[in-house]
Amino acid sequence: KSSVQTIGEEQIQNPYTELLVLKGHQDIVRFLVQIDDCRFASAGDDGIIFLWNAQTGEKLHELHGHTHKITAIAPFSSSDVAEEKTNLIITASADRTVIIWDCTSGRQVQKVSCFHSTVKCLTVLQRLNVWLSGGSDLCVWNQELDLLCKTSHLTDAGISALVELPKNCVAAAVGKELIIFRLSASNNGSEGWNILEVKRLVDHQDNISSLVSVNDLTFVTGSHIGELIVWDALDWTKQASECNFWDSSVHPDVQPEIKLSQSPHETSVQHLTSDEECVFAAVGKGIYVYNLQMKRVIACQRTAHDSSVLHIEKLPNRQLISCSEDGSVRIWELREKQQLPAEPVPTGFFNMWGFGRTNKQANQAAKKMQENTPVYFLELVGDLIGHSSAVQMFLYFGELGLATCSADHLIILWKDGERESSLRSLTLFKKLAQNGDLQLKL
């Protein structure tokens, strides 16, 4: 079980050398959502939403209103009649209510409790100034919480994911199916909207677990048994699919064994994220980088964590952050490696047990199509250990740092110690000048 790459205590590239523990939640914290440049909200199983200052770690507001755990949260900035932009957040809870909160005042703006089932996902179509709630049916609301239209009852299991597509369309993951809906202004009413089912895509063999929009032209879905399908966002056709990409199909002799060892849970696509070139998939314990152009996995870390990877995110600087059930957060860097000619294909033994880079190179070497393709690999550049339980999610705040939330009820703000130190110096000298101490005692 020592197959996970470790980095040790010396992490020169890890900028996070200071941390703040934010306490407040009494149960698992599952969601973190950014409100603006320096604020974020956290929510979880205790039904409380906290608003935090990402710089100071100060608790800004404590929003009470839900009686059950929070199932979905979405930020919503409305810039309507009044010029100033108000930051709202929408939260859905297992108590079958949805509440809109004002982030500045910390007050509840409105509350809807007419749902027949728990709302599992929320999507804001900022462009249309409406938001959608997905449960057993799909509802469209405007900002004033007027129900504009809704679909018929779709499924008891409910919509697990929603993503906005071009042309006023949304894709909803309902079980194994992917349903495309189109929103259209109704003919008779000025405010009225209609929602129509346009297409049902049934290419997945198992429940769709993640759904992400890459750009205006493509979106990607991932399923529980590790299928990854790239869709055209305009005509909803399958552009590419990668199935079983997590196993080393090039070695048929070892494949069965690997399949045996990998339970369905370990092949589930837990989370997807993307930049313009690549889709990053958290599959089981591993991280895979799928290149959209090349239509293949260009790099992977099979066992990036000791246990399931729950969330990954791509940073602007070619870095990738992942968090996992094992309580750790890891920072990866996607590096290009010059292909060494005639690298021997490693033995199946190493493949089987996944000995870090060797394994990965072997995999790529085996999968490569052209000889001159640069080979990428994921280099572990740092890990953040602080939580004592599964890290559910994290939020990257750029310079301000990184917020992680966990099942141990804590939120940790990881910060760049150097930057914080100089910021403190700045504050210090400001305060000195304020107090007039500069002349007096020093």
Partner 1 sequence: MISAPDVVAFTREEELEDDLYREPPLPEEYSVPLFPFSGQGANPWAKVAGSKFTRDFILISEFSEQVGPQPLLTIPDDAKVSGTFDLNYFSLRIMSVDYQASFVGHPPGSAYPKLNFVEDSKVVLGDSKEGAFAYVHHLTLYDLEARGFVRPFCMAYISADEHKIMQQFQELSTEFSKASECLKTGNRKAFANELEKKLKDLDYTRTVLHNETEQQKKANDKGYYTTQAIEKANELASVEKSIIEHQDLLRQIRSYPYRKLKDSEFHPYEPECALDRADVGSHDQDPTASEPGETHLYTHVPSYTPKLIKAKSAKCFDKKLKTLEELCDVYFFTQTLDQLHHIERTFRGDVCYLLTEQISRALLKQQSVTNFLFEDVSFLDEKPPEKQYRGCQGLGQDAMDEKCLEESLAPKVVISLGSYKSSVECVPIKMEQEVEDSEEPKMSESVMSEQQENLDYLDADIKGSISSGESIEVLGTEKSGSGLTKSESQASLPAMASPQAGRSKVGSRRTVSEDSIEVLSTCPSESLIPEDFKASYPSAINEEPYADDDQGGLRFTPRASPGVHDGQDDISKQESLVQVDAACCIGKESPNFLEPLAEQLGQRPCEEDGVVRIPPQPYRGPAEQGLRGGFPSHQGLSAGLLPYELDSRHLTGSREVSKSSLDECSDSTSHISSAASTCSDRTPSPAQPAQPGDRHRKRAGQNALRFIRQYPFAHPAIYSLLSGRTLVVLGEDEAMVKRLVTALSIFVPSSGGYTKPVKHWVTSALHLVDFQRWKLIGLQRAVSPGGVNVLHALSRYSRYLSILDADSKTLRCPLYKGSVVARLADHRTQIKRGSTYYMHVQSILTQLCSKAFLFTFCHHLHLPISEREPEESVVNRRMNFLKLQLGLANEDIKIVQYLAELLKLHYIQEPGQGGNPLLRFDYVPSFLYKI
Distances (CA, A) of 74 to 132, 146, 248: 10, 17, 38
Report the residue number, 343 or 437, with the smaller CB distance to partner 1.
437
Give the C-alpha distances (Å, rounded to integers) separating 388 from 7, 69, 289, 405, 408. 19, 21, 28, 11, 6
Q: Taking a C-beta distance cutoff of 8 angstroms, is the pair 141, 125 a contact?
A: no
The minimum distance between CB 358 and partner 1, in angstroms, equals 24
Neighbours of 300 (CB within 10 A): 23
Would you say 234 or 385 has its CB closer to partner 1? 385
Query: Whole-number minimum distance, CB 419 to partner 1, in Å?
Result: 10
Q: Looking at beta carbons only, is 113 or 435 nearer to partner 1?
A: 435
Q: Pairing mode, if any, of strands 238-242 and 319-324?
A: unpaired
Alpha-carbon torsion 336, 341, 343, 344, what sign?
positive
Give the residue with the Cβ less far from partner 1, 79 or 429: 429
* CB of 247 vs partner 1, minimal distance in Å: 31
**Shortest Cβ 14–partner 1 spacing (Å):** 6
Rounded CA separation 250/164 (Å) = 37
Query: Would you say 11 or 207 has its CB closer to partner 1?
Result: 11
Rounded CA separation 371/350 (Å): 23
Separation of alpha carbons 262 and 254, rounded Å? 13
Please report, to the nearest 10 degrees, the dihedral formed by the alpha carbons of residues 44, 48, 53, 58 taken in order.
-120
User: CB-wise, 6 or 372, nearer to partner 1?
Assistant: 6
Which residues are near partner 1 by CB under 8 A?
Answer: 8-12, 14, 17-23, 56-58, 382, 385-388, 410, 412, 417, 420-422, 424-429, 431-432, 442
Whose Cβ is closer to partner 1: residue 203's or residue 333's? 333
- Smallest distance from partner 1 to CB 381, Å: 11
- Name the minimum Å distance from CB 19 to partner 1: 5
Give the number of other Cβ atoms within 10 Å of residue 105's Cβ. Answer: 10
List the 39-44 sheet strands across, edge first.
29-36, 39-44, 49-53, 59-63
Residue 142 pairs in a beta bridge with 130
Q: Which is nearer to partner 1, 113 or 427 (CB)?
A: 427
DSSP code, position 136: S
DSSP code, position 126: T
> Three-state SS for 298?
strand
Quote the least distance from Cβ 416 to partner 1, whole Å. Answer: 11
Query: Least Å distance between CB 56 and partner 1?
Result: 7
Identity of the residue numbered 290? Y
Q: Of 11 and 77, which has the nearer Cβ to partner 1?
A: 11
Q: How far apart are CA 271 and CA 312, in angstroms?
A: 7
Please state the closest distance from residue 329 (CB atom) to partner 1, in A: 13
DSSP state of 153: P
